[in-house]
Structures are given as C-alpha cells and as structure tokens.
Amino acid sequence: MQDRDIYELLAGKLEDAELAWREAGPEAYALVPAARIHEAAIFLREDPRLSFDLLMCLSGIDWDGYDESGKGKSVDILGYNPDGTPETSDRVAAGDLGVAYHLYSYRHDHKFAMQVRLARDNATVPTVSDVWPTADWHEREAWDLLGIRFAGHHDLQRILLDEEWVGHPLRKDYQMPDRWTEVPLAGQPYSKNPFKQDNAPPAGGDDSGEG
Amino acid sequence: MVIVTDVYQKILGAGASPQVLLVLGGLTMALVMALVMAACAIVFTWMERKVAGFMQSRYGPMRVGHWHGVAQPVADMLKILQKEDIIPAEADKFFFRVAPLIIFLGSLLAWAAIPFAPGFVAADLDLGLFYIFAVSGLAVIGILMAGWASNNKWALYGAARGAAQIVSYEIPIALAAIPVVMYTGSLNMNDIVHAQQGGVAGWFLLRNPFLFLAFLIYFICSIAEVNRTPFDLPETESELVAGYHTEYTGMRFAFFFLAEYANLFLVSCIATAVFLGGWQNPVPGVNVAPGLVFVVKATVLVFLQMWMRWTLPRLRVDQLMYVCWKVMIPLSLVCVVGAGIWMMVLGQLAH
Amino acid sequence: MATDDRTPAAAGGWSETEDLPGLRSELLEINMGPQHPATHGVLRLLVKTDGEIVYEVKPYIGYLHRCAEKIAEGCDYKQWTVYTDRFDYLAPMNCNFAYVTAVERFLDFPVPERAQYIRVVCAELQRIASHLIALGTFGLDMGAWTPLLYCFREREEILNLFERLCGGRMLYNYMCVGGVRFDLPEKWREDVLEFVRWFEKNKIDDYNTLLSYNKIFIERTADVGVISVEDAHAYGCTGPVLRGSGIQWDCRRNDPYAVYSHFEFDIPYGTGEVGTPGDCWDRYMVRVREMAESCKIIRQALRGLPEGPILADEIKRVLRVPAGSCYTRTESAKGELGHFIIADGGTKPFRNKVRSPSYCNLSVIEKIGRGLMVSDLVATVGSLDIVLGEIDR
C-alpha cells in the first residue's frame, strides 16, 4: 500500500484530529497531533490492512533554528571557542521539539513515517512503548538527549548519559559544559588549524571533493 | 621410602631409633614430593602452552630460553613471585591466607601413595588407593574457603559450583576403581602395579571390557575432579572472571596454579598405576628404567587431558551434575557388577 | 534493609519450590560489570538471581557514548563519515555504507556503478570478518578456546586485503559520499577471489566440525535463549537475531539498496534444527551460513565488476544536500542499520539519528533473560552479537 493511502486511512480513523501530509525531500511523512499519537499507533499496528509490526526508528528532533527555506542557513550548534572555553550565545531557543516514527510491516511490506511536533516548554507526548516495546529504549534516549517527556512510560530514565547529568545535549541551545565533576572538559586552547595560519586549501591542490 | 630410611640409618648409625628414622624419612619424602610437584607444574605449563599453541595454529612461547621458550615457566614464576600481594579489605583474612595452602595440601598428601618405581613410594600404605581418594576431597574445603573469604559474589559462585562438582564426582571415581581392587584383592598401590605383569596384555585396561569402561569413567571423572575443561565451570573465564581465585594475586595465585597442574599429573599417575600397568614395562625384554616408563605413561594421559581442554567447550553446571549422577554413577555401578560377574564366570577372582 | 521484597516469593511468586518457613532466602544481586570478559564490551548487566537461575536482567549502557550525533550536527556530511567507523568497529565498512547510502538518497545524481560494486564487495568481506569474530567469541564464551584463533586467522587475511585497499586494518573511512576513495590495487581482485575460494572450500567445514555440531556446544546452545517471532518484531530485533527465529527477511533482498538486486543469494534462517527455532544455536548457524552466502555475492560482484570512475563527478569540494528528511536502512552484519537524516540544504545535517541494530537487539534480553541460568545468560548475550560502540554511539 502506498504511504499516501495509509495516510488517508489514518486520517479517516482519527476524524477530528488535524493531520497533515508533508512531502519533504525523499520521504513524505504524516504530521499527527501529539495527543492522538497513541491512538494512531494502536490503529496502525492492529488494523489488518496495515499491521505495522516493526517500529524501525523513533527519533527525537529539535527543530529550533531550522531553515525552512532550504538554503542551509540553520543556526549552528554551540561548541568550544579557540581558547578552550565553551561557546555561549544570547539567542533564546524558541523552536519546537519533535518526534519521528518510522514504521514497517513485515506482512504487507510497506513503510510509513509519522512525526509529532511539541512546544518547547511543554514537550510531552504519550508513549508508544506499550504498542511497540522497542520504543522503550528509543524513548529513553529521546528523553536523555533531548528532554522530551513520554507520558505513561514505565521507567523514563537516562540511558546513555550518567544519571546525574544536567541538561539535554542534543538540543540546539545546549552549552558545552566546562567541567564534569572535577574534571575540566574545556581543555587546552586550540587553533582551528594547527598546521597553517589560515584555512586555504594547499596550492595546486585537487578540488575533486575529497575534503 | 625404605631406601630413604636406609640412607638415614647409614648416616645416623645403628643407634638411631625407628621413630626418628621414620620422621626424617617422611620429611625428606615430603620435600621430594613437593619439589616433584613444582617441577611438574613447571614442565606441564610449558607443555600446555605449546600444545595449545600448535592446536590453535600458532607457535606458543618461542623466545624465552632460546629453544621454543623452554624457560618460559621460569620467567612466569619469577614474575608471579614479585607481584604485589593484595588482600581485599573486607575479606576474611585468616581463611583467605589459608585456603591456597589447604588446596595445595590436598594435592601433596595424595602424592604420598603413588608408586613411581619399585620401592620408590613415599608411604607404602595398605590402604593406598582408599587413602588417595579420601585425601583428594580435602581440596573442597580449600575451595570453599577461598570463595567465601574473598568477599566476592563471583568467587562465591565459583566456589559453590566447585564444591558441588568435586564432591559429586568423587563417587564415580571410587566406584570405577573398585573392579581393579576386586582383581588385585588389595588396596595397596604396589600390589596393584605388581598384579599387572606381562607387558601390555597384563594391563587392567585390557583384561576385561568392564575394566576398559571403568578406565574411561575414571579418566573423565578425574578431569572433573581437577576442574579442567570441559568441566572447568568453577573457574570459567568468560562467566566468572576467574571463579574462586578471582581475588588472589602473586604467590597465592601461584599456589592455585601449582595445585592445578600437580593435580593434573596426579590423576594421570593414579590412572597409570591403576589401569595402565604403572611402572611395568609394556614391552617385555627391553631394559628401561621403571620410573621413566611410569612418567612417560602419565605424560601421555596428561597430553590427552590437554587435548580435550583445547578442543571441547565446557558443560553447564546442571549438565555437569546430570552427567555425574545420571550417567557416570549408573555406568560405574554397571562396571562393578559386570566386572564381578565376568571374573566369577572366568574364575579370575583374586584369592 | 527489608528482606521481604527481595525474597523470590515476594517478588511475584517466582520460585517453583515453596520457601521453607523460617529459612530466609534472598535474591542474589550480581553485577556483570562494565569490565567483564563475557559482556562483549563495556556493558553492565545487573542480574538478580535465585541461585543459578536469573530472575531479572537489567542492562546499563552508555559507557561508550561519544555523542556522535551531536558531532554530526557540527561538521560536514563528508567529514562525518570517519565517525561511522567507530560505531560498529568490527564491521566499519558496513557502517560507512549505511551512512553514505543515506546521504545519497537526497542527491539527484547517481553513484558510479563501479563504486557500487566495490562497495558491495567490501561490505560482504566485512560481513564475513564480523561473523568470524561473532563465532569465535561465542565459542570462547562456551569454553571452546580454539575456534577463536582459527577465526582470527581467517580474519587476518581479510584485514590484509583491506589494508592493501585503503590502508587501514580496522577503521577504514573508505567509502565516501558519491563513491569510494581509492580504486582497486593491482591483483586485488584476483586475491579476493582466491581468498573466497579457499575460505568456502575449507574453513566453513572446519568450523562446523569443530564447533557447530559438537555435542557439548549443542547442549549449551540449543533451546537456550529462545526469541519468539512476536518478541523479535516487538523489540525490533533484526539481522541474524530475527532470521534465527525463522523469518527469512534480509534488507539486501527485501528492501534492496546499492546493486544488491543484481546478485543471487539465499537467506539462511533458523529452523530449530537441533532445538527450538529461535534459540542460540539457530542464530549462530545463521551467521555461519551467511558467510557462505557472502562468498557467493563477492564472487558474482567481482566477476561482473564494470570499468569506470569510482567517484561521482558531481561531488564538489563543498557538498550541499537538498532539504528534506529520510530514513534509510541497510543490512549491516549485526542487523538493520539505519540513518534518519534531516537536511536543510546546507553542508551540515540538521539531525542525524543512527538506528543501530545492537541497540534494539540488546533490549530483548530484558524479556528473555528471566528464567535462564547464569551460563545461559552469557550464551544468549553472546548470540545476540552486540557491539557497544554501536549501542552507545
């Protein structure tokens, strides 16, 4: 079944929800309101025409600073200054957070992609770990790295980072820490190019793209 | 030991009391046996590494000692002796220190009754075979001490498994040796070896099909007694880090190591003495030193054990117990009964 | 500390025998800690056991987390390829392959045929090398010391071939967006064909004789750690773990990428030959048979290797990827390795999420760990063939 048809079925099932269909690049996805995602998940798995039994990937996304025009002018992440101190920025992050679900059905051999948009100050979405148990660890990772809460998850704890870590590193406004417990993280001052004074390519170099 | 006491008698003159001679003789033989243990540990660690190397398509030690790394064990011993002796803070210090000694003792005591050559046995006991099996069980106490005193859950696991394994496998070992005793009519190790005269055909191994089965049972169960793969669950590297000797370092660890290789040789010596004719010459007529014959036969069995170690995976603990209680013990009972019937039918009962 | 909630009975009626009144018994909480010879990397398993039988397994990961996804947002698409090697460091070619395939989905020009064929050859050689380690370490967990060294001997040959190709023995950074970096060196093609012929003829039978059909090995692995099909789908298990449970599904066949649709090969799957379908033995045997299939693919690819460029001409020094988002998956040695990339039209990805197979495969241990013995737990974790670099990224 084509993913547009699956979207129609889903929209038909969730009649009063405001679904949207986005075609962005190689893959199109359905934008589902956060409150209805659990219902959508159950429908997608249980309906015999769809039977999406594999949640391939559940990713958290931080849409802050995304350049909608497609010209690549998204805001850079914060790193370290050349003198070794963490970069800071006065910019206040205001973008949405999001979760992307990619589903596959072994029975019918079709795929589907969904996304959810969440407001930054209230980033909560119902869990789908009771529908697809693999989401358990994926949601924990999204919480750990992006701070997205999954309501109803049985044990939403950090998974990759230490339990005492503060902050959610994959957010665009995350400032690099300058120390972890007593270990300084911002190390020696460095120059972006320790071998030359500027970033120009070597003279007579091959511009074929192996950069 | 008679030779040794004779030597002491000559040294001390005719007036020496028999008790003094006995004590001196015993001490000397104990020292000799301990040295033999250390020597065989050294030789067999080298042999193990070379055998392992060649089976695994590599060379093994090559550098230390110029020719195929013969001095490697010496280097290893020197290294182990100068390691820091660490005792965990929460460990039960007394038992932690004593455990390796008890394991070593369990092995050393059994060496007293092994007949290497005619007249060359430390203690010519009438209960020789019985004594050997009884004393081998002493190691269990040492293992439990080591596991408990280490204050380490993994060590405790290894010790519990080891104790269960050793205690269980003592039964088929003893049962498998009973047909031999039925043939000989005596538990004395010297008598057992003397009863196997006449070249290869005189070996107990080949006199009786039930004795052949008894040899196999004995051999397999003795591998379990000494914790070698496929029965090395108490010290599996991949599960329990190092089992009951996880927390041991330096010389204490060397004791465990020493005891393992000494045990390896010990069970091979017992099997040789009991089933393979001991120091009896397999080819009658050729004049070879009996001690050499004995050592060569035991070494072949040691090689067999090493071969098994590097080929087979290990059994899980419940499978190990299953093999012992549901396979080995019934089979060894069958051996006892069958050997007895065979001997009765053919009129070979000892008088 | 209250012992009530730690008794087996209080914890849910677990024990099959009645707790003896007056005899205090507790669950033993052990740590198969980050440093352990059998956990295949820095993995911590907190195990609660009732004697030898495991009551609960809780994996703790993150000891090898190097925030590669954050780094991806800070560096160019082409610069980030080198980080993919560090994920599954036992099969880096497959990781490279997954990433460059994911980026190329956005680009509108094709990758040269020759580059695709070379990529397939490298990926399949890498699959053989990765499975060799999986088999060897699995045998080692069972106490079979020798097969590990035999597997490493064969892996040496593959690593030598890769070293001639791109200079690295373990971390290659060979595939790049738009093609591959270097062309085949002299006589490389013939040497790979020779290796494949030697490997297929002698070595796989060696492993079968020594390990696969060994009675003790079968006793240790058959009927142990059975993953049912429902569990496999629910927990996202893919690769040999899924195929061991009986599903004949492979990304190279069912969702083809690169030039895999040009080749003929079988998909081995577990049938419960010596036990239950989905046990450790089936997963192990799937890997052994997959090595033979990889040999077939390599031979077909090298025989049909076309001439031509190895890098697309349109790849500029500065690569701008058109805006959009896409999830692309490939079949790595461990399972389905996918990248969810959100591009914004610039030189750096906006979001790059790596879906690693071992991450999902490991999560199933919480479900099937209950009721195994400690030795079986080691066997099951070994049969899942996890690599912590991939799990933690």
In a domain, A77, yes or no: no
Bridge partners of residue C337, in order along the sequence: C330
Average pLDDT, chain C: 88
Window from C14-23, C101-110, C262-271, C369-378 with minimum mean pLDDT: C14-23
Q: Does C36 touch chain A (CB under 8 A)?
A: no
Per-residue CA distances from B193 to B133, B180, B339 (Å): 17, 10, 19
Summarize pLDDT for C54-68 with one digit per residue, the tens.
888 999 999 999 989
Question: Measured between alpha carbons, how far is B183 from B201 in angstroms, rounded to an integer?
Answer: 15
Q: How far is A27 from chain C (nearest CA, A)?
A: 5
What's the whole-number mean pLDDT along residues B27-48?
85
Window from A188-202, B15-29, B96-110, B326-340 with minimum mean pLDDT: A188-202
Q: Among A131, A149, B330, which residue's Cα sits nearest to residue A139? A: A149
pLDDT category of residue B287 using cuts at 50, 70 and 90: confident
Per-residue CA distances from C114 to B248, B305, C131, C184 (Å): 58, 54, 26, 10
Choose the most confident range, by mean pLDDT, from A93-97, C219-223, C335-339: C335-339
In a domain, A11, yes or no: yes
pLDDT surpassing 70 at residue C349: yes
Average pLDDT, chain A: 84
pLDDT surpassing 50 at residue A196: yes
Q: Which has the higher per-residue pLDDT, B103 or C17? A: B103
Inter-chain touch B238–C378, beta carbons under 8 Å: yes
State whether ipTM is beyond 0.85: yes
pLDDT surpassing 80 at residue C222: yes
Supply C113's token pair.
């045929």
pLDDT surpassing 50 at residue B242: yes
Those of residues 8-37 in A touching chain C at CB distance below 8 A are 24-27, 29
In a domain, A138, yes or no: yes
Please enumerate in sequence order all residues whose Cβ is within 8 A of that of A96, keeping only pairs 6 or more positions apart, or say none. A63, A64, A117, A118, A119, A120
pLDDT category of residue A38 using cuts at 50, 70 and 90: very high
What's the whole-number mean pLDDT along residues B204-225?
88
Q: Give the predicted TM-score (pTM) of the model.
A: 0.88
Substitution target in C49, C50, C202, C375 with the highest count of B β-carbons within 10 Å is C375
Q: Which has the higher per-residue pLDDT, C176 or B11? A: C176
Q: Does C182 touch chain A (CB under 8 A)?
A: no
In a domain, A183, yes or no: no
Q: Which has the higher per-residue pLDDT, A208 or B264? A: B264
Chain C residues whose beta carbon lies within 8 Å of the beta carbon of residue A25: 106, 322-326, 343
Full domain range(s) for residue A118? 3-68+95-161
The proportion of chain B whose per-residue pLDDT surpasses 90, expressed as a percent, equals 16
Q: How many domains does chain A have?
A: 1
* pLDDT score recorded for residue C3: 39
Please tell me which of the candidates A72, A76, A211 has its beta carbon nearest to residue C320. A72
- The CATH number of the domain holding residue A24 is 3.30.460.80
* pLDDT score recorded for residue A10: 86
Chains A and B are touching, with contact defined as 3 or more CB–CB pairs separated by less than 8 Å: no
| Ordered domains of chain C (ranges, CATH) | 8-52 (no CATH), 68-392 (1.10.645.10)
Supply C5's token pair.
């909630």
Per-residue CA distances from C239 to C273, C287, C357, C380 (Å): 19, 10, 8, 15
In a domain, A117, yes or no: yes
pLDDT category of residue A186 using cuts at 50, 70 and 90: low
* pLDDT score recorded for residue A71: 82
Q: Is the CB of residue B331 less than 8 Å from the CB of residue B217?
A: yes
Choose the most confident range, by mean pLDDT, from B204-208, B234-238, C308-312: C308-312
pLDDT category of residue C242 using cuts at 50, 70 and 90: very high
* pLDDT score recorded for residue C4: 42
Chain B residues whose beta carbon lies within 8 Å of the beta carbon of residue C38: 238-239
pLDDT category of residue C353 using cuts at 50, 70 and 90: very high
Q: Is the CB of residue C280 less than 8 Å from the CB of residue C221?
A: yes
Chain C residues whose beta carbon lies within 8 Å of the beta carbon of residue B309: 145
Q: How far is C228 from chain B (nearest CA, A)?
A: 23
Positive or negative torsion for Cα B22, B23, B26, B32: negative
In a domain, A172, yes or no: no
> Chain centroid to CA A168: how far?
12
pLDDT category of residue C16 using cuts at 50, 70 and 90: very low
In a domain, A166, yes or no: no
* pLDDT score recorded for residue C19: 58
In a domain, A105, yes or no: yes
Question: Measured between alpha carbons, how far is C271 from C281 in angstroms, rounded to an integer?
Answer: 10
